[in-house]
Chains A and B, each alone.
Chain A
Amino acid sequence: MFDNFRGFLVNDLSIDLGTANTLIYVRDQGIVLNEPSVVAIRTDGRGEKRIEAVGIDAKRMLGRTPSHISTIRPLKDGVIADFTVTEKMLQHFIRKVQAKRLLRPMTRVLVCVPYGSTQVERRAIRESALNAGARKVYLVEEPVAAAIGAGIPIGEARGSMVLDIGGGTSEVAVISLNGIVYAASARIGGDRFDEAIINYVRRQYNMLIGESTAEMIKHKIGTAFPGHEVMELEVVGRHLSAGVPRSFTLNSNEVLDALQEPLSGIISAVKTALEQTPPELGSDVAERGIVLTGGGALLTDLDRLISEETGLPVIIADDPLTCVARGGGALLEMMDRKGGTSFAID
């Protein structure tokens, strides 16, 4: 009874404000929104700008817009690149997940931020959430939220390593006793994978492909470890010399070649984390293994690559894409039980 009444007055949201996708977890409802972090803006004749589309509708327009409409990805490398557009996007998403009522409930928002983000970047995220309609904003570091969402018992006096590969950043952290012992954030993620594919195609085939095509190639035939199956995909791009659209066939081994550079960046971040981890915790990690979360974990055989490079077991969390948002939701519930949490920062 009291919970229902409370739910009428207060609305708790956990937001994973990612470079590629924004996910919103609503308390007692689960993940209710998972849309690309893309905004399409229309500029009218007088130079005034207004939001044309947000999320999945805007992503469909990416690279296909006339001159008076521009599609923007307001987050870059896990942090806000365009403050105003981020604010509008958040506003849109929060309104979308809230039931239309006469009295708007008080919205408490927990936003996950990259570990390496600066005070200025965190403040930008906080302000942006407040301006989007939140009454209270909590910030939590992504590796902690990812670990909680994955179901790692981080309260134990044992080391657990989590590697969260998002769209803009990859975060690696060693956690014990509910605290981060070591964490690092590399500005490498799914976007860098796409860029690497675009560059490879331009270099090898003299063809130009768009971001959406590169992402599609990554999803369909992207792999991180050489397997015994070769997958092929027919791709259409613009020939740089002839200037006309042409199709060509790309196979998974070529995509693997293209992804070598960003993948080695992630591997070296993991190796550095293992080097910096105190020996007792290092042995715990060696025994338990590394838990992979984030959309990057869905890249075929990425766990195998990290396993081969580090010699440790690497396991992929259940539903890795939503771990951060679900972890944030669990923290919100804990806040209610205890009246606060030590995980929230600032």
Chain B
Amino acid sequence: MSQDQEQQNTTEEQVEQPDMPEPGAGQVEETPAEPAYTGKTPGELLREGREKRELTIEDVVIQTRMSLETVRALEEDRDPPQNAWVYVRGYYRKYARALGLSEDEILGAHERFVGGAPAPEPISDEWAPADVSPRGGVPRFVLVLIAGIIFGGLAWWLVPQLSRELKSAEQGAASADTESRQTASGTSFTVQRKPAPRPALAEPVIAAAPESGDDASTEATAEEESDAEAESGQPAAETPQADQGTTASEEAATESEAADALPEGNRLLLKFTERSWVNVVDASGKRLLDGIVQGGSERALSGQPPYRVFLGYAPGVSVSFAGSLIDTSTYITDNNTARFTVGGETRETP
């Protein structure tokens, strides 16, 4: 207990340091749904999270298998004994997950605290035995010289040819133009010279787009974005493009605003005190919500009642329909799941 107090004092002292970066402090609104970066250090966030869950440092050590020294170092914003960035980031992620906090939030706070994302250490070969493989016999400047000669020769040979071809093409185009003009004056079928080639050219560009932009990550991002849109229930056109600078609090605020905008009559409100998987389907078979929702957030859904609800961890979720709270405790099974129907005439089905 006294150790904890001592750590708290140490952290407070660190917070008071004038050179501590506090970007965005006071600008970001704190919402209960998803706490945003409020200028707190990662150590403070972790300690608060641990104390909120009434865990001791020893509990965290047992849960994460990290050493006591490492856990203390993380809470006190000191470098842990293993200060390579891969380990430090891994420890923060592990600690955050053990407390049910957002890994990105803690890592983001850490990056801000240390002043930017840590750069990976350059690998060194100095401990390795000397390389005995024979190196390329030709020195580099000779290669450059040869390449220069080749390019010079090619340019000398290609430039006159290209200019000749260009001239002949221009002449050909000019003669074709005059021919067509002559034909147009005689007959009417040359009117078919419509701006048709334009869409024909546009087609291959569209078809080639997935090939040229064959980055799987872009596809994945697009999918994620569309998933996020589906969850929030907003149409794709209205959703602004994902901005990296958007904070969690802003997202939460938008979510709650969206929830308020829904009609009260059919509104199904799910409040998550714990992390739980949830699946909600309305009468038309439309899947309103499907996936894991973090604790401390809420989701307001609107569709065609009755809603079929399946909760993965029912004790951690409170459900209210049209403003009235629904008692889910009667449907909770041995493995903490609950399946029931809300709204309509058949209000509940075990």
Contacts and interface: CB of A to CB of B under 8 A. Distances in A.
Contacts of B120: 151
A310 B292 CA distance: 28
Interface in A209-247: 228-232
Interface string A122-159: 00000000000000000000000000101111110100
A231 B85 CA distance: 34
Contact of B123 (A5, A289, A330, A340): A330
Contacts of B152: none
A150 B90 CA distance: 11
B78 interface: no
Contacts of B310: 232
Contacts of B93: 315-316
A216 to B, nearest CB: 13
Contacts, number: 125
B215 A230 contact: no
B158 to A, nearest CB: 9
Contacts of A250: none
A17 to B, nearest CB: 16
Q: Which of B84, B91, B93, B335 has the most CB of A within 10 A?
A: B84
Interface in B195-244: 211, 214-217
A162 B290 CA distance: 35
Interface string B122-143: 0111111111010100000001
Interface in B130-184: 130-131, 133, 135, 143-144, 147
Given A231-B277, A342-B128, A313 B135 contact: no
Contact residues on B (Cβ < 8 Å of other chain), bracket:
35 or more
Q: Which of B66, B129, B135, B310 has the most CB of A within 10 A?
A: B66
Given A179-B128, A334-B125, A339 B135 contact: yes
A230 B335 contact: yes
A76 interface: no
A206 interface: no
Contact of B125 (A230, A287, A313, A341): A341
B312 A229 contact: yes
Contacts of A229: 275-277, 292, 312-313
B150 to A, nearest CB: 9
A232 B86 contact: no
Given A33-B214, A315-B91, A287 B67 contact: yes
Interface in B48-73: 64-67, 70
Given A312-B65, A318-B86, A340 B133 contact: yes
A342 B135 CA distance: 13
A342 B125 contact: yes
A182 interface: no
Contacts of A55: 214
B104 to A, nearest CB: 12
Contacts of A179: 127-128
A289 B90 contact: yes
A15 interface: no
Contacts of A5: 144, 147
B116 to A, nearest CB: 15
Contacts of B126: 155
A34 interface: yes
Given A5-B144, A150-B86, A287-B81, A35 B67 contact: no
A255 interface: no
A155 B70 CA distance: 22
B215 A32 contact: yes
Contact of B312 (A96, A150, A231, A313): A231
A151 B121 contact: yes
A341 B121 contact: no
A312 B125 CA distance: 29
A155 B120 CA distance: 13
Contact of A339 (B94, B131, B143, B335): B131
Contacts of B292: 229, 231
A56 to B, nearest CB: 7
B279 interface: yes
Contacts of B337: 230
B313 A287 contact: no
8 contacts: A151-B85, A151-B120, A155-B126, A179-B128, A228-B312, A229-B275, A287-B67, A331-B123
Interface of A: 5, 9, 31-35, 55-56, 96, 148, 150-155, 157, 177-179, 228-232, 253, 287-289, 291, 303, 307, 311-318, 330-331, 334, 338-344
Interface of B: 64-67, 70, 81-82, 84-87, 89-91, 93-94, 120-121, 123-131, 133, 135, 143-144, 147, 211, 214-217, 275-277, 279, 292, 310, 312-313, 335-337
